[in-house]
């Protein structure tokens, strides 16, 4: 769900670009530091960026009858952090605009603030709070991805509301209107994306858990505990 | 799924060999003029002229172009209807009050803003399409290098771009295999199949990344991807034509905007 080219007045395009630039600068500095430390991260980040692009181009199965696309930023923010995710998100948004005609260049600042910065920031805050607790890692992944998705929609509604305040009730009323329109489809879709990415995480734990240990997403102990629980479930199912 | 990949069309464009700087100057210039225009006339004129340029000398199929425009068109029509009822000001043109709490009205000011937004989206979208349909991504990477965008970002973009098509083919193959095995026949089955697809894609993308590291190390990678810049030199004639067009568009903007002369 991106704001399309030309939909926002130019003053708001500038405001959102200014808001996004510090994150891009910080992301570039962090990217440079990571690459200097370990050269192989560049190619790994590159393929992960391509993965997020493909993820966002695939249609998500929907119970509401409509269809939408996963953002994938929740998974990225847990693996690489907020600043790197903002860089990957910005590249994905640029390619979506130029290869698929989704979003735009003038509205890219606003789309970055919602999808590549705001959503991941909220997701990372939840991840930071839950990662060292006794909460199951799959529940953590579900909450992080759902929150990242929902915050993306909330910020997009806010961006539209302040650009087009309603005659009666102003920004608040306009925000309410935009959010209700999005909520009908986006809340179920955010929950479905949470379920999908939790299952994705489950497959990664089962088949290639060393990726998650290398990226320090969860501790070795947490991952082995999660895969041990899975083994027990499989064992019970076989019995 | 990816329905229309604009980069394939850009590779075949008749404007493919014009210097990317000239094309970016034209597209970004008209995009900015459409964006700042307080009147719908400028984006409307720009959108029509740029569309004609893409179709006639650019030899883009009108059917293909229509299909590309259709995506944003559906979204903007829906958004304009929302704006029409939500915004206010001026005189009421039409009012509908089915129940006491719901009051739907269209005013002169809401019509003005909605029309301006509709035309602005059209003009700006066509400007964006002009870049997307005439300039392949590889030319844009070279232009970014010339404008001193951090090299790490460009390298990252190049890797992302390279792998998008590989993963897309993989995703389509897995998707088709799953559909053939009734993987999307029920909602719960669909969620499970889709998760497996994404999980496999993540793992294979990681493996591809590790293979790429080894391949680059074999070729003495030292942190920079050298690439061949085959851009044609800037032609003065095309640059003058673009400048005249943008100056004319700016002239229309000045004439159509009362009060702008105060700032000039």
Q: B87 vs A164: CB contact, 8 Å cut-off? A: yes
Q: To the nearest whole percent, how much of chain A has pLDDT over 90?
A: 31
Q: State how far the Cα of A188 lies from the Cα of A195, in Å rounded to an integer.
A: 11
Q: A203 vs B195: CB contact, 8 Å cut-off? A: yes
pLDDT-derived band at A65 (thresholds 50, 70, 90) equals very low
The verdict on residue A116 lying in a domain is yes
Identify the closest residue of chain A to B47 by CA–CA distance. Answer: A6
**Tens of pLDDT, residues B60-89:** 889 989 988 887 788 788 888 888 888 877
Buried b (16+ CB within 10 A) or exposed e, B28-47: bbbbbbbbbbebbbbbbbbb
Q: What is the per-residue pLDDT for B55?
A: 92
CA B83, B84, B85, B89 torsion-angle sign: positive
**Tens of pLDDT, residues A70-124:** 777 888 888 888 999 999 999 999 988 888 878 889 999 999 999 999 999 999 9
What phi and psi values does residue B92 have, to the nearest 5 degrees? -80, 125
Q: Which chain A residues have a beta carbon less than 8 Å from that of B28?
A: 105
Q: Which chain A residues have a beta carbon less than 8 Å from that of B97?
A: none
The verdict on residue A199 lying in a domain is yes
The verdict on residue A77 lying in a domain is yes
**Distance, in angstroms, between B92 CA and closest chain A CA?**
12
Distances (CA, A) of B185 to A197, B2, B135, B191: 20, 22, 41, 10
Q: What is the per-residue pLDDT for B259?
A: 66
Q: Which chain B residues have a beta carbon less than 8 Å from that of A97?
A: 128, 132
Q: Which of A166, A90, A91, A89 is nearest to A123 (CA)?
A: A89
The verdict on residue A129 lying in a domain is yes
The verdict on residue A1 lying in a domain is no
**Distance, in angstroms, between B90 CA and closest chain A CA?**
11
**Tens of pLDDT, residues A161-201:** 999 888 777 888 888 878 887 777 778 888 888 888 888 88
Q: A100 vs B35: CB contact, 8 Å cut-off? A: no
* Segment 106-145 of chain A within 8 Å of chain B by CB: 106
What phi and psi values does residue A72 have, to the nearest 5 degrees? 75, 0
Number of domains chain A is built from: 1
Instruction: Give the HSE-up count for residue A116: Cα atoms under 13 Å, Cβ half-sphere.
Output: 31
Buried b (16+ CB within 10 A) or exposed e, B61-90: eeeebeebbebbeebbeebbebbbbbbbee
Which residues, including other chains, have CB under 8 Å from residue A122's CB and lie 6 or more apart?
Answer: A147, A148, A151
Domain range annotation of chain B: 1-135+234-264, 148-231
* ipTM here: 0.85
Containing domain of residue A196, as a range?
Answer: 10-238
Q: What is the per-residue pLDDT for B166?
A: 82
Q: State how far the Cα of A90 lies from the Cα of B67, in Å rounded to an integer.
A: 26
The verdict on residue A3 lying in a domain is no
pTM: 0.87
Collapsing DSSP to helix, strand or coil, A81 comes out as coil
Q: What is the per-residue pLDDT for B129?
A: 92
| List of chain B residues with pLDDT < 70 | 1-5, 222-225, 227, 229-231, 259-264
Q: Which of B137, B175, B167 is nearest to A47 (CA)?
A: B167
The verdict on residue A72 lying in a domain is yes
Q: Which chain A residues have a beta carbon less than 8 Å from that of B117?
A: 6-7
**Tens of pLDDT, residues B95-118:** 777 777 777 788 888 899 999 999
The verdict on residue A2 lying in a domain is no
Does the pLDDT at position A69 exceed 90?
Answer: no
Q: What is the per-residue pLDDT for A232?
A: 56
Closest Cβ–Cβ partner in B117, B152, B206 for A32: B152
Q: What is the per-residue pLDDT for A63?
A: 44
Residue given tokens 């590889």 in the structure block: B138
**Distance, in angstroms, between A7 CA and closest chain B CA?**
6
What's the start-to-end Cα distance of chain B, in Å? 48
| Paired residues of A166 in beta bridges | A170
**Distance, in angstroms, between B241 CA and closest chain A CA?**
24
Q: State how far the Cα of A184 lies from the Cα of B68, in Å rounded to an integer.
A: 27
pLDDT-derived band at A207 (thresholds 50, 70, 90) equals confident
Q: What is the per-residue pLDDT for B30?
A: 95
What's the start-to-end Cα distance of chain A, in Å? 45
Distances (CA, A) of A66 to A59, B54, B200: 10, 33, 25
Q: What is the per-residue pLDDT for B3?
A: 52
The answer to whether residues A98 and B140 touch, using CB atoms and an 8 Å cutoff, is: yes
Q: State how far the Cα of B137 lies from the Cα of B150, in Å rounded to an integer.
A: 17
Identify the closest residue of chain B to A27 by CA–CA distance. Answer: B153
pLDDT-derived band at A11 (thresholds 50, 70, 90) equals very high
* Segment 26-45 of chain A within 8 Å of chain B by CB: 28, 31-32, 35, 39-40, 42-45
**Of A98 and A66, more confident:** A98
Identify the CATH number of the domain in which residue A37 sits.
1.10.1760.20
The answer to whether residues B54 and B65 touch, using CB atoms and an 8 Å cutoff, is: yes
Q: What is the per-residue pLDDT for B232?
A: 73
């Amino acid at each position: 769900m991106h704001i399309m080219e030309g939909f926002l007045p130019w003053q708001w395009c500038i405001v959102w670009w200014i808001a996004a630039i510090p994150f891009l600068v910080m992301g570039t500095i962090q990217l440079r530091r990571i690459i200097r430390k370990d050269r192989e991260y560049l190619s790994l980040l590159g393929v992960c960026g391509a993965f997020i692009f493909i993820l966002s181009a695939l249609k998500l199965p929907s119970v509401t009858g409509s269809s939408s696309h996963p953002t994938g930023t929740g998974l990225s923010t847990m693996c690489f952090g907020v600043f790197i995710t903002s860089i990957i998100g910005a590249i994905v948004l640029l390619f979506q605009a130029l290869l698929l005609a989704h979003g735009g260049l003038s509205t890219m600042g606003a789309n970055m603030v919602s999808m590549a910065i705001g959503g991941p920031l909220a997701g990372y805050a939840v991840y930071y709070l839950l990662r060292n607790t006794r909460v199951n890692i799959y529940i953590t992944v579900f909450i992080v991805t759902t929150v990242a998705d929902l915050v993306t929609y909330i910020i997009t509604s806010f961006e539209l509301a302040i650009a087009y305040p309603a005659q009666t009730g102003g920004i608040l009323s306009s925000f309410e209107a935009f959010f209700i329109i999005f909520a009908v489809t986006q809340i179920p879709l955010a929950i479905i994306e949470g379920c999908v990415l939790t299952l994705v995480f489950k497959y990664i734990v089962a088949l290639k858990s060393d990726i998650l240990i290398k990226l320090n997403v969860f501790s070795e102990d947490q991952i082995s505990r999660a895969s041990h629980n899975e083994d027990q479930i499989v064992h019970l199912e076989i019995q | 799924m990816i329905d229309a990949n604009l980069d394939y069309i850009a590779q075949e464009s008749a404007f493919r060999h014009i210097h990317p700087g000239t094309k970016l100057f034209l597209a970004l210039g008209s995009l900015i003029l459409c964006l700042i225009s307080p009147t719908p006339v400028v984006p409307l004129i720009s959108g029509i002229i740029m569309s004609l340029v893409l179709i006639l000398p650019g030899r883009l199929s009108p059917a293909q172009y229509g299909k590309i425009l259709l995506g944003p068109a559906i979204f903007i029509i829906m958004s304009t209807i929302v704006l029409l009822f939500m915004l206010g000001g001026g005189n009421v043109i039409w009012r509908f009050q089915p129940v006491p709490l719901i009051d739907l009205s269209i005013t002169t000011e809401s019509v003005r803003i909605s029309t301006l937004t509709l035309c602005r989206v059209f003009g700006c979208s066509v400007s964006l399409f002009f870049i997307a349909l005439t300039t392949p991504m590889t030319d844009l990477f070279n232009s970014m290098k010339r404008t001193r965008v951090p090299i790490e970002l460009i390298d990252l973009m190049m890797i992302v771009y390279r792998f998008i098509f590989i993963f897309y083919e993989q995703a389509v193959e897995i998707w088709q295999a799953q559909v053939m095995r009734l993987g999307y026949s029920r909602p719960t089955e669909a969620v499970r199949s889709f998760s497996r697809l994404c999980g496999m894609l993540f793992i294979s993308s990681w493996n591809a990344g590790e293979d790429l590291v080894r391949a680059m190390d074999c070729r003495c990678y030292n942190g920079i991807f050298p690439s061949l810049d085959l851009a044609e030199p800037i032609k003065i004639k095309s640059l003058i034509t673009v400048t005249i067009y943008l100056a004319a568009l700016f002239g229309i903007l000045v004439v159509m905007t009362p009060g702008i002369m105060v700032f000039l």
